[in-house]
Structure 1
Amino acid sequence: MAEIKQGSNKFYIGDDENNPQAQITFQPQGDNQINIDHTGVPDELGGQGIGSQLVKSVVDYARENNLKVVASCPFAKSVIEKNDEYQDVYAG
């Protein structure tokens, strides 16, 4: 599995934060909430669970920083809603 790195309001796979192979981005929403607004995994990396691992990275980040998560990204929203372990940080 490729290494997931933390960037500015994102987690990504690749050598360059500005030109990642795959990424998930989020934006601050008020004092204690972030919104996952995009998950991008190219077709050649599809089917490897990379998108789900990127979502997990944001969930872990939220826990470490006492943040709640909302997701305007349909993929991230689906992953979070289906995973009981993520409900502690999910703000719906």
Structure 2
Amino acid sequence: MAEVTATVASTVGLHARPAALVAEAAGELDTEVTIGLPGEPAEDAMDVSSVLSLMALGAGFGQEVVLRAEGPGADEALAKIKELIETNHDA
């Protein structure tokens, strides 16, 4: 399983617009990507393609999150989602 850490760059955190952009991009991927907080078990991670899951995570500005994916295209999927999370969509 591939794993990367990303830092939330949007000043509102993973809420509303940033969460919708990330979830939409994840929904277009062939690889399932999950998100969780550092130190949490992988089995507790949530689906990145769900806006509600992203908002429920409660990740705020500057907070680190852990992205995981498995299978073909995992590294590319993680890179795409990481880039979106590390972009300030409020600017």
TM-score, length-scaled by structure 1:
0.36
Q: Which has the larger radius of gyration?
A: 1
Instruction: Name whichever structure is richer in strand by fraction.
Output: 1
Taking CA–CA contacts closer than 8 Å with sequence separation of 6 or more, which of the two structures ends up with the larger relative contact order?
2
